[in-house]
Amino acid sequence: MNTQLLAPLTTTGVGGPAGTFVRADTEERITAAVAAADAAGEELLIVAGGSNLVIDDAGYPGTVLQIANRGVAIGKELSDGRIRVDIAAGHPWDDAVAQTLAAGLSGLEALSGIPGSAGATPVQNVGAYGSEVAHTLLEAKVYERATGTTTHFGNAGLGFGYRDSLLKRTTANGSPQYVVLSVAFALQRRADSAPIRYAELARSLGVAAGERADAAAVRATVLALRASKGMVLDAADRDTYSTGSFFTNPIVPAAVLDSLPAGAPNFPVDTPGLVKLSAAWLIDKAGFAKGFGLEGTAGAALAGGRAALSTKHTLAITNRGHASSADVLAIARAVRAGVLERFGIELHNEPLLIGCAL
């Protein structure tokens, strides 16, 4: 055990010291560390890839547990013909996606390039380009802190929603009731992809929405699209020092469309009478251009140029170098307030805010 700064463990690169730091690389060590923190009455923060956390500069006073178990196991054929794939919670997500495609399995290709660990993906039903974890997740193996036992949640039991799940709803200030140990997916053994659900991706691949494409080509195209928006980690590119999308796309009553400019992007959702709007479009139309907050741009005084909206995508708040958590949140507050004033719609943060708030 040792204490250390948490900033290097996050993709945004902000965060002060941990009270106690533990790195656990097996399921047994993970559960033992959680049990020890609970027995001592210490607060517990779980960190793996750190791609969905903004941690206060004051740090975290309790125990910070880094999930570091690894492994991807291609399993047996299930009764419906799909193939089971088990992935350790601490395994880097994009590497797991690459391994499934190399094994001739499709279903995760549209989720390529997403930073972070496999165990984090079901927590908020990670999704991109029309695909989300709920489409293929079979089950999650978790440690239940209340009982000190290990259990499994099937897909239906996780109560998936838009960037939401039971695992997220039972998290308070980053401390989960259930700690994910591993996840299992059910994938197709085929060379082509799952049906392409996202219009931009379909156009880039030259197929119609709903059609399939070569799975490897889908992965390559998704990686290229994400890189063009600063959404693939690159140590040389400050636009990638972020949590990815800082705000979720708001889901609002369909009647709200009447108050928006004609042509405002909107997408259907499962609940009748509701639509999903584009947070990026709202931010842009509220007057927050790419690079907002950089020296020489609107809002530069907010964070001294240390934090700013990405120069590639208005949904990402980036650490331009030496940013503090206060700098990141200053940009977020300005954007949220501006969208609320312009459209009457309140944006909600996607990453967990640890020890700080908007």
Pair type for strands 53-55 and 352-354:
parallel
The catalytically annotated residue of 175, 242, 245, 324 is 245
Half-sphere exposure of 352 (CA within 13 A, CB side): 25
**Is 245 assigned a catalytic role?**
yes
Q: Is 203 a catalytic residue?
A: no
226 is an active site residue: no
Q: Which residues are CB-contacts of 187 (< 8 A; sequence separation ≥ 6)? A: 82, 83, 85, 100, 105, 106, 107, 108, 136
The catalytically annotated residue of 29, 82, 163, 189 is: 163
The SS3 call for residue 143 is: strand
β-bridge partners, 111: none
Distance CA 130, CA 217 (A): 16
Place of tokens 């949140």: 329
Please report, in angstroms and rounded to a whole number, the separation of the first and last CA atoms in the chain.
32
Contacts of 279 by beta carbon, 8 Å cutoff, 6+ apart: 245, 247, 248, 249, 250, 315, 347
Q: What is the DSSP string of 16-30?
A: -BEEEEEEE-SHHHH
Give the pair of three-digit tokens for residue 179.
Answer: 């700690």
Residue 202 to residue 223: CA distance in whole angstroms? 14
Q: Which residues are catalytic?
A: 163, 245, 350
